Amino acid sequence: MKSAVVTFPGSNRERDMMHALELVSGRKPEAVWHADTSLPDVDLVVLPGGFSYGDYLRSGAIAARAPVMDAIRAFAARGGMVLGVCNGFQMLTEAGLLPGALMRNAGLTFVCREVQLETASTANRFTAGMRKGETWRCPVAHHDGNYFADAETIARLEGEDRVAFRYASGTNPNGSINDIAGITNEAGNVLGMMPHPENYVDAQQASTDGRAFFESICGAFATA
């Protein structure tokens, strides 16, 4: 699997993400800058976590209008896989690639801790290699992670099996509706999630529970 990670001013998880992708795929990801207007020949593009442009205006709002985003929209339209984690998830909603919005946490404070994450759907290429209903450890670190959408959109996401991840019962850190932690687009090739699986892939970290997620993504290309 060939991958690329986009860096924006204020990103702080791009190196973590690149380490995770190289560790699992065996290939070093390409580095892409927010001002680039084209993408390298890759299978997966990742928008990492951080505080792009200082989270001014709204989290992810300015990054969603960066030059590289036009290339990412075109890449997704061709069926390329796009993953947004934390600030990357915020960018995807702001860019219109995913529905809904990420609002201030219900407690109005920054949350940085481990949660229990449930794999709620395996009906997409990102999670097809995982087990539906399994729970695993994953860290979160965000201030604006409270997922919200109107009732019609939520019903559509649930009905179309597009809720990829949920916070397991009792571990919702931000008030997200229906405990939603990650969703996909209609085609299943764009996924946004607030937790950081890239920080639980290495034996030197607190856990390796996040590794199965990246193995599942790589598996999608191994069997393609």
Q: Identify the active-site residue in 14, 138, 196, 218.
A: 196
Residue 66 in contact with residue 31, Cβ under 8 Å? Answer: no
Task: Report the relative pairing of strands 135-142 and 3-7 from DSSP bridges.
Answer: unpaired
Nearest-5° angle of CA 27, CA 219, CA 210? Answer: 80
Task: Report the relative pairing of strands 135-142 and 111-119 from DSSP bridges.
Answer: antiparallel
Give the C-alpha separation, 104 to 205, whole Å.
28
138 a catalytic residue = no
196 a catalytic residue = yes
Alpha helix positions (H), 57-188: 68-77, 87-94, 151-159
Q: Identify the active-site residue in 14, 94, 118, 198.
A: 198
Q: Identify the active-site residue in 86, 118, 142, 143.
A: 86
Main-chain phi, psi angles of 159, to 5 degrees: -65, -30
112 a catalytic residue = no
The residues carrying an active-site annotation are 86, 196, 198
